[in-house]
Amino acid sequence: MTPPIVSLTQGHLPLLISIPHGGECLPEPFMRRMTPAARKIADTDWHLSRLYDFARAMGASVLQANYSRYIIDVNRPADGASLYPGTTTTGLCPTESFIGEALYRDDAAPPDADETAQRVALYWQPYHDALRQELSRLREKHTHVLLWEAHSIANELPRLFEGRLPDLNIGTFDGAACAPSLREAAIAAASAGPFSWVIDARFKGGHITRHYGRPHAGVHAVQLEMARCLYMDEGEPFPYREDRAAAVLPTVESMVRNTLRALEALQ
């Protein structure tokens, strides 16, 4: 069965967990044009819906893209503008993996402008429509809403950044995407845990954090880019590791709950 473009669970809390890179679906017409490396969809933010089950149980809304970021990256601007000018990054419709492997076969052209526009309409726009609509629904019930951008990544990717990433990379677009009290609440919870962390460093927040984080309008966005080795094996078939997840989940849950408490103090 063909999955929907997005999956949404609606909750009652002023909290929306957004998982834009969790999609694992890569339909056959795309796979036929792509390399064996691309078909592994290795750059997926694996298992985040499962990792954030605690938020769903709390009463948060959870939105996830179901199609691979190799089709289109819904956390990039629709015009393809770079979020980090001057640095190596992947684009709106990626042609290379994070480690620099070609995603399209030599005899299969990557998407041109027309195909990119089609992918924006078919895959990018539905995610943003659902995101806006859910934020609007929550804002009708609450004066302030927290948009928590859930991401994960390999902590060593020499092509994209030097050295080793900290375990927990918090992004608030240098404080512009949320109220200062929420930023401090996320820092406090991260600091109380046993994991390394940083804020607004290599990952300041993607398009969703930057575009939707409007604290003056009651929407506060915080991104958490986790080192995925904290909860899974990074080799194929990329399995979830209950033992590792059990170690990091208390800190992640504390970060979400602490930031939500700071939000509720604004209500």
User: Is 4-263 CATH 3.30.60.50?
Assistant: no
pLDDT band at 82 (very low <50, low <70, confident <90, very high): confident
Q: Looking at the DSSP assignment, which residues form a beta bridge with residue 153?
A: 227
Structure tokens, 93: 């419709």
Contact 251, 259 (CB under 8 A): no
The whole-model pTM stands at 0.96
Over 80: is that where the pLDDT of 86 sits? no
If you search the block for the tokens 């934020």, which residue do you land on? 135
Distance (Å, rounded) from C-alpha 197 to C-alpha 168? 5
> How far apart, in Å, do the first and last CA atoms of the chain sit?
42
Over 80: is that where the pLDDT of 1 sits? no
Distance (Å, rounded) from C-alpha 267 to C-alpha 263? 7
Contact 174, 222 (CB under 8 A): no
For the chain, where are the alpha helices, taking DSSP H only?
28-31, 36-39, 48-51, 53-58, 113-119, 125-141, 180-192, 207-212, 242-266
* Residue 53 pLDDT: 98
State the average pLDDT over residues 167-178: 98
* Residue 179 pLDDT: 98
Q: Looking at the DSSP assignment, which residues form a beta bridge with residue 220?
A: 146
Distance (Å, rounded) from C-alpha 239 to C-alpha 152? 14
* Residue 162 pLDDT: 87
Contact 206, 153 (CB under 8 A): no
Distance (Å, rounded) from C-alpha 87 to C-alpha 89? 6
Contact 59, 2 (CB under 8 A): no
pLDDT tens figures, 39-55: 999 999 999 999 999 99
Distance (Å, rounded) from C-alpha 60 to C-alpha 55? 5
- Residue 174's region, left for phi above 0, alpha for psi from -120 to 50, else beta, is left
Domain ranges of the chain: 4-263
SS3 assignment for 229-261: HHCECCCCCCCECHHHHHHHHHHHHHHHHHHHH
* Residue 83 pLDDT: 87
Q: Where are the beta strands (DSSP E) in 154-218?
A: 168-171, 197-199
Distance (Å, rounded) from C-alpha 258 to C-alpha 64? 23
pLDDT tens figures, 211-228: 999 999 999 999 999 999
pLDDT tens figures, 191-250: 999 999 999 999 999 999 999 999 999 999 999 999 999 999 999 999 999 999 999 999
